[in-house]
Chains A and B, each alone.
Chain A
Amino acid sequence: MQAVRRIAGRALPLARADVDTDQIIPSYWLKRLERTGYAAGLFEAWRRDPAFVLNDDRYRGASILLAGANFGSGSSREHAVWALMEAGFRAVIAPRVADIFRNNALRNGLVPVELDSATVTRLVDAVRADPSTEIAVDVERRTVEAGIVRASFTLDDFSRTRLLEGLDDIALTSKHDRDIAAYEAKRAEWLPVVTGSQRRL
């Protein structure tokens, strides 16, 4: 994962609540074997409507998505994060981001920013009034700034460090290999194994 320190750029005011990952990327896009090639599927159904905000040239090149409450709910598909990032998004600002989406975003360096809905609404209003409004998300200071709007967001220390340093999770965990092995040695005997015993079903 690439390190992320600060994201500054224009924003796309999606501003819908309960946007599920089926909308972000429909299921038939999930047949790919790669982590890439999803940008054209982003919000595919909604994009057929010429009035949909993603088709609005004034917001072209936006790197921050301003979303509504419960963004990324539903399916666990990480493809939703891949599609957003391929389309240039680096942060999602919403009153609430769904749990699995949040985890997936953090694993890929897409910064999930939760702000109270009044602040998100102010950002949406500012961007709608002037699409060139620049928003800055600072991971190190855990702040969002846009003109007169200033807010801070919650991000646990561990996730923050991982984002700032672009750490590889598996390498991090592998440092605890001895602990894992020790734990394995004392797991309860009755716990099932799938292959080992090759028992007949």
Chain B
Amino acid sequence: MRRAAGEPDLLYVDLHLVHEVTSPQAFEGLRLAKRRVRRPDLTLATMDHNVPTNDEPPEPISAKQIEAMASNAREFGIRCFPMGSPDQGIVHVISPQLGLTQPGMTIVCGDSHTSTHGALGALAWGIGTSEIEHVLATQTIAQTKPGTMAVTVDGALPADCAAKDVILAIISRIGTAGGTGKVIEYRGSTIRALGMEGRLTISNMSIEAGARAGLVGPDDITFAWLEGRPYAPKGPLWERALDDWRSLATDPDARFDREVGIDASQLRPYVTWGTNPAQSVTIEDRVPEPDALPAEARESARRALAYQDLRPGTLVRDISVDAVFIGSCSNARLDDLRAAAEVLQGRRVKPGMRALAVPGSMRVKADAERLGLDRVFIDAGFEWRDAGCSMCLGMNPDILRPGERCASTSNRNFEGRQGPGGRTHLVSPAVAAATAVAGHFALPSDLR
């Protein structure tokens, strides 16, 4: 929007997504300075991070934050999908689903997984609370120009691998800081062949590789997915938008600051063993020996193994699991629930296993129920919940107990992420479901 020498560019924000946890201090800042929200009509709020996903009322401290979100939205004239609304859900699930996320838009949110929206060809990234206040007041954000990185994934993905395995493979290759300062463009035949929901999973975890944002060039799959959604352009505007979006594709001979290639045909389902998302192996492997890793990775591997209570050399399939969480903005869309339900159909989770299925939005939940997926989860012994972040970050009562080990479809396996002392292993929805049945890490084909 504005460019001046010696200053970062000032970018206009086409959509600002707001949730209850990172925004209260920003609204308070506006009030203190007697400022208004410049464009309430380009701002959408919801409640996701600390809402309960069962019938219990929110605990008192969370309730305060939930109430603050509702009253801030009222005071500043912002549309909010509160708890109980059929449109409520995880912010990164609802916006694409409503068709608010569109190619070429700039989207920010006080949440690092805003990169999710890049799957539709939007430039989307996470910001902090001071920046939220700035965007609320000015609808703009200052950004230095990011570097560029191409991750090209080619080849046919094996049938038991999912988008989650692709992104875990990418992060394991480039590392947790591999994308720092850069925007990653995911390219190649594998990405092109993925549906929109799989692309959302991949873009979602760009931040786990340290990238500022991640995106996929929009194509016919993007357009078909968007068409007819509540906020997608209609009639002649749709045609004009389409013309514009088709012009967004990256030049075939574009140069990137860094390029990485991945052969999808060689992938296997991934399981993280450590406490950052780059510390992973395939399900066919063993927990690594820290001394066999590159020198700079050894110390954090040792610390991670101690925290995770794992012995080097253990077969991943021999690690037993206490809890399974199918949810989060990584993997709680309809395709994800369907993939898990396919595995769970006619099966039961291992006795003693705690198993939670938490749809990404109330719309996803309703869609899943129309397909009867809720019955499959419930009959298998899963709890079937309302939408929210839930056990992805343990701000509501859904937390791991200290020492509990969880196979999770979320995106972060940091120490204590799912509850103090909890141990997280990131996996795809199909592996999570098979693991719930087997009681240890397993593929669907391992069952029976």
Which residues of A pack against B, CB within 8 Å? 16-18, 20, 22-23, 26-28, 30-31, 33-35, 45, 69-70, 73-79, 81, 96, 98-100, 103-104, 107-108, 156-158, 169-170, 173-174, 176, 179-180, 183-184, 187-196, 199, 201
Contact = CB atoms under 8 A, between A and B. Distances in A.
Contacts of B393: 22, 27, 75
Contact of B128 (A77, A188, A192): A77
A192 B96 CA distance: 12
A52 B241 CA distance: 56
- Give 4 closest A-B pairs by Cβ, nearest first: A104-B128, A107-B130, A78-B128, A190-B233
B79 A173 contact: no
Given A18-B176, A180-B140, A27 B394 contact: yes
Nearest to A95: B177
Contact of A45 (B50, B137, B416): B416
Contact of B130 (A45, A108, A173): A108
A35 B44 CA distance: 23
B105 A191 contact: yes
A170 B33 contact: yes
Given A33-B28, A73-B177, A99-B180, A188 B127 contact: no
Contacts of B177: 18, 69-70, 73, 96, 98
B102 A192 contact: yes
16 contacts: A27-B394, A33-B24, A33-B68, A76-B111, A76-B112, A77-B128, A78-B25, A103-B128, A107-B131, A158-B6, A170-B33, A187-B12, A187-B14, A190-B238, A192-B100, A201-B230
A188 B233 CA distance: 11
Interface string B393-406: 11100000000000
Interface of B: 1-2, 6-8, 10, 12, 14-15, 21-22, 24-25, 28, 33, 35, 38-44, 49-50, 61-62, 64-65, 68, 77-79, 87, 98-100, 102, 105, 110-112, 126-131, 133-134, 137-140, 142, 144, 176-177, 180-181, 207, 210, 212, 230-233, 237-238, 240-241, 244, 276, 296, 299-300, 303, 393-395, 412, 414-417, 420
Given A173-B142, A192-B100, A194-B42, A27 B395 contact: yes
Contacts of B40: 194-195
Contacts of A17: 296, 299-300
A95 B2 CA distance: 32
A199 B395 contact: no
Contacts of A34: 25, 28
B212 A99 contact: yes
A98 to B, nearest CB: 6
A17 B139 CA distance: 35
Contacts of A98: 177, 180, 210
B10 A173 contact: yes
A122 B415 CA distance: 28
A201 B130 contact: no
Nearest to B141: A173
A84 B139 CA distance: 29
A169 to B, nearest CB: 5
A20 B276 contact: yes
B64 A33 contact: yes
Nearest to B63: A31
Given A45-B415, A170-B138, A174-B138, A76 B77 contact: no
Contact of B395 (A28, A184, A191): A28
Given A34-B25, A189-B237, A193-B41, A156 B8 contact: yes
B300 A176 contact: no
Contacts of B43: 194
Contacts of B395: 27-28, 30-31
A14 B161 CA distance: 39
B212 to A, nearest CB: 5
A56 B111 CA distance: 33
Contacts of B35: 170
Given A28-B395, A98-B210, 12 more contacts: A17-B300, A22-B415, A22-B417, A23-B415, A28-B394, A74-B207, A78-B130, A173-B140, A179-B2, A190-B233, A194-B100, A201-B98
Contact of B112 (A74, A79, A176): A74
Contacts of B276: 18, 20, 73
A192 B231 contact: yes
Contacts of B126: 76, 100
Contacts of B299: 16-17
Contacts of B33: 170
A190 B231 CA distance: 10
B237 A190 contact: yes
A136 B100 CA distance: 48
Contacts of A194: 15, 40-44, 78-79, 100, 231
A23 B414 contact: yes
A191 to B, nearest CB: 6
Given A74-B112, A170-B35, A196-B41, A26 B138 contact: no
